[in-house]
Structures are given as C-alpha cells and as structure tokens.
Amino acid sequence: MNLLKVDSEFFNAKDTLLCGQFFRYVLDIDGAYTVYSLNKRCKVYTIENFTYLESDDIDYFTEFFDLKNDYSKIYNDVLNFNDPFISHVATLSKGIRILKQNVIETALYFIISQNNNIKRIQNSVEKLCQGLGEKIECDGGSYYAFPTVKNLASASLDFYKSIGLGYRAEYIKGFAEMLNGGYNLDNLRALSTSEITSELLKIKGIGKKVADCITLFGFNRTDSFPVDTWIEKIYIQNLNGKQKDRVKISQELLNKFGNLSGYVQQYVFYYKRSLENK
C-alpha cells in the first residue's frame, strides 16, 4: 500500500467524486472514500489542506485523477471568461478534477444513467459488478472488479433487468455483445471529438448527452459539454439562455467555453446538484 499526499486546493476528494462524473465509490465510517475502477481500488480523503491517496497502484490512480494536469491554470483560465456566475461556481468547485476513466466502464455507466437518478444508477452499477465481476480477495476484505467484456456479453437480458436497469437492459445487453464481437472503443482515440461523438451515436442506447459524457470522462475530451436536465435548468435560470433544444444548448456552451467546456460543465453541475442546497 502506497500513499500519495497532494495539496487539496485543486484536488478535493468529496467534490471530485460527488460531482456526478463517477458512480462507484463508498463513503467509509472514517470519512474516507473507497473508489473502484476496473479491478483496482484506492482510498482517497481530504483533511484540511491536503488530499491523501492510498493504493497498491498509485500510478493508475495518478492517471485516473488526472494529477499531472495543472488545474490552477485551468481555474484561472475559467475565471478569465469574466462571467460572474461561472467565476462564482468555479471558486466553490475548484477542488474537482475531471476523471480519466476506462472508456468501457464510462460507456456502460452513462447508458445506465439516462432518465435515471444517481442513487439508482449507483445501485445498479454495484449489482452489475457483484453479479458479473471477479471477486478480488485482499487484506481488509474483498471487492468485485468491473466485469470483463466476455462476462458482460454472457449475462442474460433477465440478469440486466434484475439489477434495476428497466428498458435500458436491452441497450446494455446489445452493447456488451457488440464489444464481445470485437468492437473496440479505443480505435476511436485517433479521431476528433466530434468524430468520436458521431461514431458513439451509432450505438443503440447512446444519444447526444451520453455520447458527450463518454467523450469527456472516457476519452478525456474537455471540448464536450453534456447537457442534461440540470444543465438545461442552469442554462435558463443562471445563464439567461434562449435555446430550447439540448443539442443546440450544448453547441452554444461549447462555442463559448471551448476546451474548458468539460471543466465548466462539472463546476456548474456540482453547484446545482449540491452546493446550492446547503
């Protein structure tokens, strides 16, 4: 077990995990979060001015949490838009880091996320891993890995319905069979963001919003601005938006924020979902 200690100003454990980009974490009794990704896990917690990362695979989670990226520069670039509302939410949410998640995990989780709520998504994700993932024994208990493509494809439609996916079960089943048949999402990495989006939209169950989440969190393309029901509300209430179609809203926000879109989107989303209600 290795330990990494970093300044917490631009890496806050709670803000990063609860801002809506990730679903597979548990808040422990001691206040630390246990995070699961693929077949790995880590503990992460913030105490005052420092955030601590504990894992057997520090390298993986250094990449996962994007720790080699300079978020002070990103933060200052966002402030330079000189938009009072955006600056306000950025200041409150600057501890967020955009995760660099495995692309298959990201795609599955965000297909599940459609017309759903975060609690239900988390429940389904956990049951998915418990039902199909490899059980990993280690000191301090055991946990389940994210399932292999083969296991995902071999699971029945009834299994997917049994973990609460509802009508999304058919989307997941179809996507799993597609992957098992040789479709490789990593082949899309050579393409531009808009080209990746176009390819993702060909997959049944993936629309514009889910595709934008996959490009942002799975392909680390920050020139993506996912627009869901919450962002739509913010766009109208706080940004004086006039468009009504979510695709057009996304394009307008992307035009405004460019390569900083992904960061701004998470700052704003987190603000709306939690910070506003304190």
Partner DNA sequence: CCCCAGGAGAGTC
Partner DNA sequence: GACTCTCATGGG
Residues that bind DNA (CB under 7 A): 19-21, 113-121, 161, 164, 166-167, 201, 203-211, 213, 226-231, 245, 265-266, 269, 273
- Kindly tell me which of 85 and 230 has the beta carbon lying closer to DNA: 230
Asked about 256 being catalytic, the answer comes back as no
Q: How far is the CB of 237 from DNA (least distance, A)?
A: 12
- Kindly tell me which of 55 and 226 has the beta carbon lying closer to DNA: 226
- Kindly tell me which of 8 and 21 has the beta carbon lying closer to DNA: 21
Q: How far is the CB of 56 from DNA (least distance, A)?
A: 28
- Kindly tell me which of 88 and 273 has the beta carbon lying closer to DNA: 273
- Residue in 14, 43, 100, 209 annotated catalytic: 209
Q: What is the 3-state secondary structure (H, E, C) of the chain?
A: CEEEEEECCCCCHHHHHHCCCCCCEEECCCCCEEEEECCEEEEEEEECCEEEEEECCHHHHHHHCCCCCCHHHHHHHHHCCCCHHHHHHHHHHCCCCCCCCCHHHHHHHHHHHCCCCHHHHHHHHHHHHHHHCCEEEECCEEEECCCCHHHHHHCCHHHHHHCCCCCHHHHHHHHHHHHHCCCCHHHHHHCCHHHHHHHHCCCCCCCHHHHHHHHHHCCCCCCCCCCCHHHHHHHHHCCCCCCCCHHHHHHHHHHHHHHHHHHHHHHHHHHHHCHHHC
Q: How far is the CB of 263 from DNA (least distance, A)?
A: 12
Q: How far is the CB of 197 from DNA (least distance, A)?
A: 10
- List, by residue number, the catalytic residues: 209
